[in-house]
Amino acid sequence: MSRSVLILGGGIAGLTAALALAAKGHSVTVIEQGAHLGGRMWHAPPPVLLEAHGATWSLIKSLGQDAVTRPLRHTPLEFLQSTGARIQFLHLPLPSPLNTLLGTTLFQGLSMRDRWHLLSFLERTWEQDPPLPNDLDSRVADEWLTSIGQSETARHGVWNSLARLLLGAPLEDISAGLFMRTLRRCFLTGARATKLIVPPQGVDSFLLVPLTRELDRLGVRIKLNATVSQVRFSPNRVTEVEFADRTRLTADWYLSALPPQRLTPLLPERVVTHYAYFQQLSRLSESPLVVVRLHLDLPARQTQLILLEGKTFHWMIRHPDEERHDQTSVVWALAVGEPSLLPQSTEELVRLAMDDMAAAFPTAEPPRILDFDVMRLASAMLASKPGTHQYRPIATSPFTNFLVTGAWTDTGWPANLESAILSGQRGAEAISAQL
C-alpha cells in the first residue's frame, strides 16, 4: 500500500531512505534547509571504502557506480610514523583466519612482542576462552589495548592512527567496544573485508550526483532552502511539520535525518522531557573536522592513503586529477577531533597541510598549488566516547509514524558513511515493514 513520507534532512541518510521508499512506490518529499542536497557530504573527500561496508556497496551497485569502482585497484594502507618510518599493511588474498594470522605476523608496524600479544588475543577471541569482557563499551580503547599487551609504541604508532581514521578520535577518547568491533569487521573477518578502495572522486560527484539523479527519475520531491520550525504531535503520532514561513505539510509517515542538535529544538518540550528516547540525545556530542584540498601541478600514478602520526593532519589521500591525469593531482588532508584548528586562518591551514604533505609524499621540488579549498566543521561526526553506545537511538521512536535516521543512530558502526547509509536503509525498511 502506497503512503506519503516526509523526510527532514537531505543528507546521505535521508536520501538513501528516500531512494528505498520511492523505489517501493511511496510518495516521498525531502525537506532540506540548505541550498543543495548532501549536507556535510558536499565537497567531502573521496570515501574510504572497505569491502566490509556492505550497505555502502549495495547503494553503489544500485546507482550503477560499481562500474566506476570495479576497475580500481586495492589502495594500500600506509602508516607514516613519528620516527619517519613508512609501513604498509599487507592485503593478503587468503581465506580467514590465515589472512589475519599471516598479515599480523608480517606487519612491521608492530614489534615482535606486540605481534605475539595480538595474535594470542586473537586466538583467545576466536576460541571464546575466556569470553570477551562485558564492559568494553564503557572502557577506553587505550586502556583496553594496554590490557592485552600492546606497548605504548604500538598504541601511538599504529592503533592511534587507525582510531582516528575509523572512529574520528584518538584512543584516549573512544570506546574500546566500538573500536574492537570496527577492527574485527574491517580487518579480521577475511581477505574480502579488508580490501580497501578509494575512488578518485569526492563524495558529491561519486555518490550525491547519481543519487540525486535517481531520486529525480523516481519522482521524489525536493524542497530546498526550507527551514522547519516545529514538528507537531498528537498523543501518539506526528500530525504535521510547520516551516518558518508558517506553512505546513502533512504526511502519513515522518522520518528525521537531522543531526541530534538540530532535531531536538524542533520537538515540543513535553515530548523531549517525557520520553527517554529523546532525552538521551542531549548526552551525545560531536567532534570537529578540518579538511584541506590541494590541487597541485604534480601528477600521481595511483591513489594513495597514508595515516600520519605526530602531524597536524591525521591522514592524507592523494589521487590523480580526473581531467588532467598526467599533469596534476589532488591531495586531501584531514584532521579530526582537533578544535584548536578551527580558528586557524585559511592560509595557515594550507601551509600546515603542505608541510605534512611534504613528509607524506616527498618530492625533489615542492609542487605548485593550482587552487585549494578549506572546510571547517565544528560538529562533524558523533564522538565515540565510552558509554555513548547506550544513548544512540534505534530508528523506531515512541511515536508510531515517526522514525529517526542518521550516521549517529544505533547502527553498530561508528558515525561514518556506512552508518549513514545503513540507517537510511533501516528507516525505509521499518516503514515498509509496518505497512
Minimum mean pLDDT among 77-86, 100-109, 264-273: which range? 100-109
How many domains does the chain fold into? 3
Task: For residue 230, give its domain range.
Answer: 4-69+201-284+385-434
Q: How confident is the model at residue 203 (pLDDT cuts 50, 70, 90)?
A: confident
The enclosing H or E element of 373 equals strand 369-382
Task: Give 209-251 pLDDT, tens digit per residue.
Answer: 999 999 999 999 999 999 999 999 998 899 999 999 999 999 9
| pLDDT confidence of residue 129 | 58
Task: Give 241-279 pLDDT, tens digit per residue.
Answer: 999 999 999 999 999 999 999 999 999 999 999 999 999
Question: Does 278 share its domain with 344?
Answer: no
Question: Does 278 share its domain with 399?
Answer: yes
Instruction: Give the residue among 203, 219, 216 at the shortest CA–CA distance from 60.
Output: 203
Is residue 98 in a domain?
A: yes
Q: Which of 361, 382, 403 is the last residue of a domain?
A: 382
Q: How confident is the model at residue 416 (pLDDT cuts 50, 70, 90)?
A: very high
| pLDDT confidence of residue 147 | 92
Is residue 10 in a domain?
A: yes
Q: Find the CATH number of the domain harbouring 130.
A: 1.10.405
Q: For 307-322, give the DSSP string.
A: EESSSSSSEEEEEE-S
Question: Does 376 share its domain with 412?
Answer: no
CA trace torsion 127, 136, 173, 312 (10° rounding) = 10
Q: What are the φ/ψ torsions at residue 426 (nearest 5 degrees)? A: -70, -35
Q: Find the CATH number of the domain harbouring 266.
A: 3.50.50.60
Is residue 80 in a domain?
A: no
HSE of 141, CA atoms in CB hemisphere, 13 A: 29
| pLDDT confidence of residue 263 | 96
Question: Does 171 share its domain with 219?
Answer: no
Q: For 250-299, give the DSSP string.
A: --SEEEE-S-HHHHGGGS-HHHHHH-HHHHGGGG--EEEEEEEEEEESS-
Question: Does 177 share its domain with 237?
Answer: no
Question: Does 226 share its domain with 161?
Answer: no
Burial label, 38 (beta-carbon count in 10 A; 0-12, 13-18, 19+):
buried
Question: Does 269 share its domain with 394?
Answer: yes
The reported pTM is: 0.93
**Strand 315-320 with 248-249, pairing:** unpaired
Q: What are the φ/ψ torsions at residue 233 (nearest 5 degrees)? A: -125, 150
Instruction: Give the residue among 158, 98, 78 at the shortest CA–CA distance from 359.
Output: 78
Q: For 55-66, give the DSSP string.
A: HHHHHHHHTTTH
Q: How confident is the model at residue 23 (pLDDT cuts 50, 70, 90)?
A: very high
Average pLDDT, the chain: 89
Q: Which of 139, 163, 193 is the last residue of a domain?
A: 193
- Block residue for cell numbers 524542533: 266
Q: What whole-number distance in Å separates Cα of residue 405 and Cα of residue 5?
A: 14
Q: Find the CATH number of the domain harbouring 356.
A: 3.90.660.20
User: Of 216 and 195, which is predicted with more confidence?
Assistant: 216
The enclosing H or E element of 120 equals helix 112-127
Q: What whole-number distance in Å separates Cα of residue 199 and Cα of residue 319?
A: 8
Task: Give 147-177 pLDDT, tens digit per residue.
Answer: 999 999 999 889 999 999 999 999 999 999 9
Question: Does 228 share its domain with 344?
Answer: no
| pLDDT confidence of residue 194 | 67
Is residue 167 in a domain?
A: yes
pLDDT of 96 strictly over 60:
no
Instruction: Assign 5 to helix, strand or coil.
Output: strand
In whole angstroms, how large is the CA radius of gyration of the chain? 22
Is residue 81 in a domain?
A: no
Question: Does 171 share its domain with 117?
Answer: yes
Question: Does 186 share its domain with 268?
Answer: no
CA trace torsion 34, 40, 44, 47 (10° rounding) = -130
Question: Does 124 share its domain with 183?
Answer: yes
CA trace torsion 205, 210, 216, 218 (10° rounding) = -160
pLDDT of 132 strictly over 80:
no
Q: Which of 193, 220, 241 is the last residue of a domain?
A: 193
